[in-house]
Every structure is written in structure tokens, then in C-alpha cells.
Amino acid sequence: MFYDSTDSISKGIGDAVCRVMELEESEMHGHRTFVGDGVMVVELAQSIITAGNVTKRFDADMMIFMSRHKSADNVKALTVHATGNWSESAEYGGEPKTLSVAAPYAMACALRALEMNKRAGFEVTYEATHHGPTVETPSFFIEAGGPDVIEETAYAAVANALNRSIFEPDESGEPAIGIGSGHYPKKFTSLAAESKYALGHIMPKYHCANIDMLESAVKRSVPKATKALIEWKSLKSAQRSEIIKALDAVGIDQLRV
């Protein structure tokens, strides 16, 4: 797990995780680390969306990035999402038109734990796949924020969700990708919260022109997605037709939601 010591919220989550998991301070590859029971938290002094090269120094079964959530309207939110870029733009880290390897079950487990223990005033939601770093190890972001300052209880909620995701893994629900909706996909979040599906990559409606990325979305996931969920009403008829053709070519079952 990684956090940015230069960001107060990222560091707040990291500190809470170290307390909840009772990790002991150490050092590796020139970084301050905290270890215990097969878990390592790594302190970085840089934005984690651009930390792809740093992550390559560490061998792990899964990588989790603990981050500040930024919202234009300052809505309080606790979120999880996979990383990667659907288009040629890589303005916020990672590689152009490249997806990281998603971790659908770990993400869904953390999402459900956040929902069960969410703080008053906070929305719990998936976010669509966006920004870096590009990571070959199964990975995901977990975020808290909206305002510049949040309550200590929000850090604890995230830490406890990660503790559950790591030490009490939940592999309920069919691994899937999501297509359509906006940046905060309510239907996909609800389906995962109900343990019906575990979402990996989510392609929002404003990136649905990049249908050549759908095969990568299916395959860049551990486990690989076996279902494509399409938020039908968020897409235009022409978009739906192109998406279905692309999914048929990949050979994945589809569900309109």
C-alpha cells in the first residue's frame, strides 16, 4: 500500500492503516515503510498518480493506493476505482490508452465495507477508471475527501475497509466491467454493494468512443471479467450498437442495467 506524505489526507489514511493493522516502522529502497503480517505500507514524498516507476521496486501480490479524493463541488466521498487511461491523454499519470490490472474482488470488498461503516455525510461509490499510475500488479485506489479537511473518523473507515479487504477477502459476485454512466456510476455501485457483481474497469459514457479498449478492460483484471454491464439509458443508440459489436467480438456476456 502506498500513500503520499506531502498530502494531508493521503497521509491521514496511511497513518490510520498503520494503527489499525499494528504495523511496525522499517525501511526499504530508501523509503520509510511499515510492515506486519504480510502487509507493507510505503511512504512516498510525491503524488502517487505518477509513482509508476517507484512501484516497480516493490514485489507484491496487490498494490493499493491511498489517496485524497478531489471533487469540483466538494462533495464528501469515500471511493474506490481501478486506474488507467482510456484515451491518448495521460495528463494525470500512467500511459496513454493503457489500463492497469484491476482487482475486482478486493475493490468490491472494500466498497461494501465502506458502505457498511460509512461516516455521516459521506457518499460511498465506485469511480470510473481514470488516471495513473500504470501498474502490472492487481491494484486499486481508495480515496477519501472532497473538502480540504475531513474528520479522523473517515480515515478510520477507510483503514477498517482495507483491513477487511485484505484479511477477510470476499469473492462474492461475478467479476465484471462496467460501460456507460458518469464518473460516479450509481447503478454499478449498487450492484456491487448487493454482492451481485464485482467491478473492475468502468468505462464512463464520455469515453465510450474508445471501444477498442474494451478487450483490454476485460482481460486486464484478476480474475478476468466474465460479464459486461451496460448502463443502457446513459448511452445513445449508435453507441450501444458499436459497444455490443465490440463485446461480441471479445466473446463476453452482456447485461443491460
User: Is residue 109 very low, low, confident or very high in pLDDT (cuts 50, 70, 90)?
Assistant: very high
Residue 201 has pLDDT above 80, yes or no: yes
Spatial separation of the C-alpha atoms in residues 132 and 84, rounded to whole Å: 6
The C-alpha atoms of residue 148 and residue 74 are separated, in whole angstroms, by 8
Q: How many domains does the chain have?
A: 1
pLDDT at 246: 96
Peptide linkage before 133 cis (omega within 30 of 0): yes
Which pLDDT does position 117 carry in this prediction? Answer: 77
* Res 136: pLDDT: 96
DSSP string, 174-209: EEEEEESS-SS-HHHHHHHHTTSEEEEEEE-GGGTT
Neighbours of 169 (CB within 10 A): 10
Q: pLDDT value at position 202?
A: 98
pLDDT surpassing 80 at residue 118: no
Cα separation, 200 vs 126, whole angstroms: 10
Q: Which domain covers residue 170, as residue numbers?
A: 2-256
What 3-state class would DSSP assign to 231?
A: coil
**Is 191:161 a contact under the CB 8 Å cutoff?**
no
Residue 152 grid cell: 479522523
Grid cell 489526507 in the structure block, residue:
9
Tell me the CATH number at 198: 3.40.630.50
Query: What percent of the chain is predicted at pLDDT more than 70?
Result: 99
Model confidence at 146, in pLDDT bands (50, 70, 90)? confident
Residue corresponding to grid cell 473517515:
154
- Cβ neighbours of 177 (radius 10 Å): 32
Q: What does the pLDDT read at residue 65?
A: 98
| Residue scoring higher pLDDT (107 or 53) | 107
Q: What is the pLDDT of residue 150?
A: 86
pLDDT tens digits, one per residue of 210-227: 999 999 999 999 999 999
